[in-house]
Amino acid sequence: MAQLIADRRDIDFVLHEQLNVEELSKNEKFEAFNRKTVDMVVSEARNLAVKEMLPTWKEGDEVGCTFNAGQVIIPESFKRLFGLFNDGEWLAMNEDPEWGGQGMPRSVSSAASEYFNGANYPFMMYPGLTHGAGKLVEEFGTDEQKHLFLKNLYTGKWTGTMLLTEPCAGSDVGALETTATKNADGTYSISGSKIFISGGEHEMAENIIHPVLARIEGAPAGTKGISLFLVPKYRVNADGSLGAFNDVVCTGIEHKMGIHGNATCSLTLGGKGECVGTLLGEENKGMKAMFVMMNEARLLVGMQGFSCATTAYMYAVNYAKERIQGPNLTKPAGGGVPIIQHPDVRRQLLIMKSYVEAMRSLLYFIGYCNDVIAITEDAAIKDKYQGFIEILTPVAKGYVTDRSFEVCNHAIQVYGGYGFVEEYPVAQLMRDCRITMIYEGTNGIQAMDLLGRKLGMNKGKVFMDLMVEIQKVIKESKAHESLAPFTANVEAALNKLGETAMHMGKTAMSDKVMNAFAFAHPFLEVTGDVVMAWMLLWRGTIAASKLSDAKKKDLPFYEGQLKSLEYFTCNVLPVTLGKMDVIKATNGAVVDISEDSFIG
C-alpha cells in the first residue's frame, strides 16, 4: 500500500532535482543532511507511515472519539502510535536538538510530513499542534517557561493545543470574552470558554499545555487588548513535576463530518475559579505572538489538504489501472479495458496529477525558503525569502486546500459508485479534507489576507519580488524550444496577474473597497493558478533538460512532467485569464444586492 500514500519518485524529484537540497549540507547548520541522510529520513518516514500509521487511519474514522463526564477517549491505536512517533523524534524535526529536535531542513521535513499526513492526518493533528505550542514557548517564553515546558512539548511527553475560538467570537477573535486577572504572585486567574479545540482533552499524554488568548482586566477592546497565556491542564511545579488539576474542564466534543480520530473539544477554564496561567510574551501583544503559531498552522493545514489530495490521486490512478469496464472507444469489439483508457477518466487524472505535482513543489519550496533564511547572514536575502513565505502562505493554505478538495472530488468520480461507498478510501479522504478549507482562518479570510495585507507589504515590493522569481524560471525555460508555447502562456498570465494586482490594490484603497473584497477570493484563485503554472514550468524545464540523457525507467516520469505542464498551461490558464478580466471589471452585484433580496 506504500504507493497509495505519496509518489516517492516525485518527492525525490522535488528534493533533489528541483530544490537541490543536498546543497544545504554545505552549510554548518545542515551539514549532517547530505543526500544519503536525506534519502534515509524520507525512507524512515515512509516506513512508519505505511507500516504503523496507515493501518490506524480507518479505525480512527470508524471508532472516533467518545466523551464521558469530562473525559475524552481517543482511538486505542493512537496511543501506541504516538509512542512510536515520539521514539523516532519526529515531532520537532526542524528544531534544536538541545530541546529534543532533529535540526532538519524544512524542505526535507516536508517530505516526511507528506507521508505522515497522507497516512493519518487526524492523528497528526495531535503532534502538529503540540509543535506549534512549543514554538510559541520557544519564541516568547521566559527562561523559566522554556525550562519547564519546551523539551516536554518537543519530545511529545506533553501535548499542546491552541485556544482561540469562542462561541460568540468565531473568526472575530477581537470579540473574545475570556478574562485574565493578575494575582499577587505574578500569575493570572483565567476565566472563559473556548470551542473547536483540536486535541483539547485526551489521555495520550500526562499533561496538555494550552496557549490561551484572553483579555486582562482594563485592557483595550478588540485585538489590541488581547494577551497570550500558558495554561496547563495540570499545574507544573518549579522542579518540573506535576501539581494539582488546573480547572480546565472539557464539556463536550463535536461530532464531525470527518477527522473523527481527532477530538474537537469545548473547554471551560476557571469554572471553579481555580484556573491559573502565566503570561507568554508581553501584555496586549497576544495576537502578534499567536500569529507565529497560526502562520505555521496555516502551512500545516495546506499540507493536510494536499496530503489528502495526493493520497486520493494515488488511489484513483491505481483503481483506474485495475478497474475493467467498457471497450476502448477506438476498438468497440475488443472487450472491456481498464478505465484509464477512457478519455474522461484520463482527463480527470491529468487534472489531479498537475495540481498534486504543483502543490507539492509549492509546499516544499516554502520549506526551502525557511532553510535559506536559516543559513544566510545576508539581511536582504532573508527579507526576500521571508517575503516569499508571507505572500505564499494564503496560497498554500487557501488555494491549496480548495484545489485539494477538488482533487478528492475527482477521485470519487473516477471510482464511480464505489467512490461513494465508505468501504473504499476516497470517501473518507474527501470528508477529512473538507475541514482544511475552514479552520485556521477560512479560505475567504486567506483571500482577504492576500489582498488586504500581503499584496501591499513593503509598498508592493514583496509581490514584485515574487513576480521576478517567476520570471527567472520563464527565462530559463526559453532555452528549450519545445516549451515555447507553454512558456508564452505562463508569461502572459504572469503579466496579466501584475495588471490585475495593481487594479485590486487601487480599488481596495478607494471608495469601492467593498467591491474589491468581493473579488478577494477570485484574486486568490488566479494568483494560485499562476503560482501553480510557475511550479509546473519550473518542473518542466528540468524535465526537458533531462530527457535526452534519461535512463529508460525515468522517461515516462519526465514525459509526464511535460504533459502536466502542457495540460495546465493550455487548459487551465486560458480560464485564469478570463477570470482576471472578470476581476478587473469588478462588477458590483455582490455589494449592491440588498439583504432582503436573498429571501426567495
Q: Which residues are catalytic?
A: 440
312, three cell numbers: 486520493
CA distance linking residue 397 with residue 390, whole number of Å = 11
Q: If we measure between CA atoms, which residue out of 313, 256, 263, 299 comes closest to residue 432?
A: 256
Instruction: Compute the radius of gyration of the chain from its Cα atoms.
Output: 25
CA distance linking residue 319 with residue 143, whole number of Å = 54
581, three cell numbers: 478580466
Beta-carbon contacts of 475 under 8 Å, excluding residues fewer than 6 positions away, are: none
Q: Phi first, then psi: give them for residue 132, nearest 5 degrees.
A: -60, -40
Q: Phi first, then psi: give them for residue 400, nearest 5 degrees.
A: -60, -40
Contact yes or no for 354/564 (Cβ under 8 A): yes
Give burial (CB, 10 Å; 0-12/13-18/19+) of 256: middle
CA distance linking residue 285 with residue 52, whole number of Å = 41
Q: If we measure between CA atoms, which residue out of 46, 65, 572, 111 comes closest to residue 354?
A: 572
CA distances in angstroms from 467 to 130, 387, 509, listed in the order given: 35, 12, 22
CA distance linking residue 87 with residue 199, whole number of Å = 20
Contact yes or no for 190/271 (Cβ under 8 A): no
Residue labelled with grid coordinates 476581476: 583
Render the burial of 331-345: b for 16+ CB within 10 Å, e for the rest: eeeeeebbbbbbeeb
DSSP structural state of residue 456: T
Contact yes or no for 237/243 (Cβ under 8 A): yes
CA distance linking residue 26 with residue 378, whole number of Å = 17
Q: Which amino acid is at 136?
A: L
What is the largest distance, in Å, between two alpha-carbon atoms of the chain?
Answer: 87
